[in-house]
């Protein structure tokens, strides 16, 4: 069995993940037997760092994708999120084992990533997908069990605090941390977010031109959902922070000031391995309230 090196490295960080990694071959055997799958080689690229993912063929000849998720706080409710969105505009969930964190997913064909398109087109597609994802549930019970965004951001806050000796500008980071807490406070307008939608998590498909994959659902402020795409477009964001925020806010029809504050807070205070990348401090200063 081939296991991508980056996935192995991430599993070595926590005992729970090491146990999952050790059990991975047994889980794979159980699922391929239960769901009658013929399995291909796993995906092994920069995007596959928290799960084991491979193309498969079902017993009736239908192509699909098998995904086994590593224990991961942010991605713990991916299966529930895919059930909520039900293929609109995400990949369809064909089978699932909640206990194993295993998913049999619709296979996007031809499957090109949105990042193969010019960034201005990426902006339009991301905003369009997000506006479809941000829909009110049929009943409040539909969101029962999903965690609030404040839970994830508190985890980030604690990680950033452990990195304090590396902060290049303590005042800026502290203000970013303060705003992450303030912006994440629950509100009656909160909706279910994807939280990790960027051009590497959108694939070209036959069923629709583009479908979202790998959601990490949390309940919170819609404006937060644009920041991941903004951060992935780092060069443009660094060149014109305020212009990028204005552009994306208009495309997605969110409050520009909220998006500015979220983008500032994440640029200033996201936990990161490389605090030496001072471009993020430059972006934070340009967007500071």
Of the candidates 48, 204, 217, 232, the one whose C-alpha atom is nearest the C-alpha of residue 130 is: 217
**Contact criterion met (CB below 8 Å) for 56 and 28:** no
217: its two tokens:
């659902």
What is the residue whose two structure tokens read 């339009």?
Answer: 124
Residue whose C-alpha is closest to residue 234's, from 188, 272, 203, 192: 272
**Which residues contact residue 49 at a Cβ distance below 8 angstroms, ignoring those fewer than 6 apart?**
4, 6, 7, 10
Ramachandran angles phi, psi of 115, nearest 5°:
-65, -10
Q: Are 150 and 239 within 8 A, CB to CB?
A: no
Catalytic residue among 123, 190, 196, 270: 196
Q: Is 196 a catalytic residue?
A: yes
Asked whether 191 and 222 are in contact (CB, 8 A), the reply is: yes
Cα 198 from Cα 175, distance rounded (Å): 26
Catalytic residues: 196
């Amino acid at each position: 069995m081939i296991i991508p090196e980056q996935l192995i490295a991430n599993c070595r960080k926590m005992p729970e993940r090491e146990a999952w990694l050790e059990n991975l071959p047994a889980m794979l055997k159980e699922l391929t037997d239960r769901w009658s799958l013929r399995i291909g080689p796993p995906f092994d690229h920069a995007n596959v760092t928290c799960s084991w993912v491979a193309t498969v063929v079902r017993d009736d000849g239908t192509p699909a994708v098998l995904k086994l998720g590593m224990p991961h706080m942010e991605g713990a409710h991916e299966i529930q999120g895919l059930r909520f969105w039900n293929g609109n505009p995400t990949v369809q969930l064909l089978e699932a084992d909640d206990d194993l964190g295993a998913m049999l997913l619709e296979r996007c064909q031809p499957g090109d990533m949105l990042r193969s398109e010019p960034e201005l087109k990426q902006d339009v597609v991301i905003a369009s997908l997000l506006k479809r994802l941000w829909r009110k549930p049929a009943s409040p019970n539909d969101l029962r069990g999903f965690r609030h965004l404040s839970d994830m951001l508190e985890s980030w806050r604690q990680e950033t605090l452990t990195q304090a000796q590396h902060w290049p500008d303590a005042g800026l980071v502290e203000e970013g941390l303060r705003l992450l807490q303030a912006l994440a406070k629950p509100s009656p307008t909160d909706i279910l977010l994807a939280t990790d939608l960027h051009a590497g998590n959108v694939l070209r498909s036959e069923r629709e031109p583009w479908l979202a994959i790998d959601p990490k659902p949390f309940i919170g402020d819609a404006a937060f959902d644009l920041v991941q795409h903004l951060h992935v477009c780092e060069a443009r964001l660094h060149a014109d922070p305020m212009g990028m925020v204005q552009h994306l806010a208009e495309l997605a029809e969110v409050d520009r000031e909220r998006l500015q504050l979220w983008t500032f807070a994440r640029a200033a205070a996201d936990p990161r391995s490389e605090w030496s990348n001072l471009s993020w401090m430059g972006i934070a200063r340009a967007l500071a309230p």
